[in-house]
Amino acid sequence: MTRNTREDVVQAAGRLFAERGYHGTSMRDLGKELGLLGSSLYSHIDTKQELLVEVVERGGRLFQASAASALAVEGSAADRLRRFVAGHIDVVLDHVDEARTFLNEARSLEPAYRRRVVAARDRYEGVLRELLGAGAVDGSLAAGADPKLAGIFILSILNAVDRWFHEPGGIDRDALVDEIFSFVTAGIG
């Protein structure tokens, strides 16, 4: 019988928070997920809220790291935008639980933590906006649309990907990035 670690608890919490929501997940549910009693979880953590904070922070770090690595791409702003899109999709598909919880369960965070999430989202959106602006300057992207609105539209598309895209079957991940990138730059035609 292998024992459970704090890491197992955080991961299981992410799974259930993403699937049923914070308020839809009880500590006894979470225990059952690991073959434990609810009370046993308190050998690893102090409060349920602490689990939410940890999962959400992980989601935030993943998005932040992805944005940073997109900014580090050499080449045109369009190249960096492509990496931004690909990175976001990787986060959302490879870390569904953390990403979903970060995007959907922030309202269940205590106010101070929720504010940090909002700030993190704003910074992330700011990176995208600057990418669009830089593309208008270096000529690698069209300068037609309002970068603020364009950024919001792009994020709306990216954040929803995990709700409908499933591997395998249908197009693969690279093709999805291509489709989104071309929709973003040219719309339906």
Count of residues near DNA by CB under 7 A: 26
The correct pick among 15, 48, 80, 83 for binding DNA (CB under 7 A) is: 48
3-class SS string, 9-70? HHHHHHHHHHHHCCCCCCHHHHHHHCCCCHHHHHHCCCCHHHHHHHHHHHHHHHHHHHHHHH
Question: DSSP letters of 154-186?
Answer: HHHHHHHHHHH--SSSSS-HHHHHHHHHHHHHH
C-alpha closest to that of 91 among 161, 166, 152:
161
Please select the residue that binds DNA; options are 10, 15, 19, 35, rule is CB under 7 A: 35
By the rule CB under 8 A, 112 interacts with its own copies: no
Which tokens in the block code for residue 168? Answer: 């395998």
Site for its own copies in 11-30 (CB under 8 A): 20-24
Binding window for its own copies (CB under 8 A); candidates: 30-38, 44-52, 82-90, 144-152: 144-152
Q: Residue 37, interface with DNA (CB under 7 A)?
A: yes
Nearest CA to 36 out of 7, 9, 54 is that of 9
Confirm or reject binding of residue 6 to its own copies (CB under 8 A): no
- Least distance to its own copies, CB of residue 5, Å: 28
User: CA–CA separation, 162 vs 100, rounded Å?
Assistant: 8
**Binding residue for DNA, selected from 10, 12, 16, 27, defined by CB under 7 A:** 27
Task: State which of residues 1, 46, 74, 156 lies at the interface with its own copies (CB under 8 A).
Answer: 156
Q: Is 21 an interacting residue with respect to DNA (CB under 7 A)?
A: no
Residues that bind DNA (CB under 7 A): 1, 3-6, 25-29, 31, 34-44, 46-49
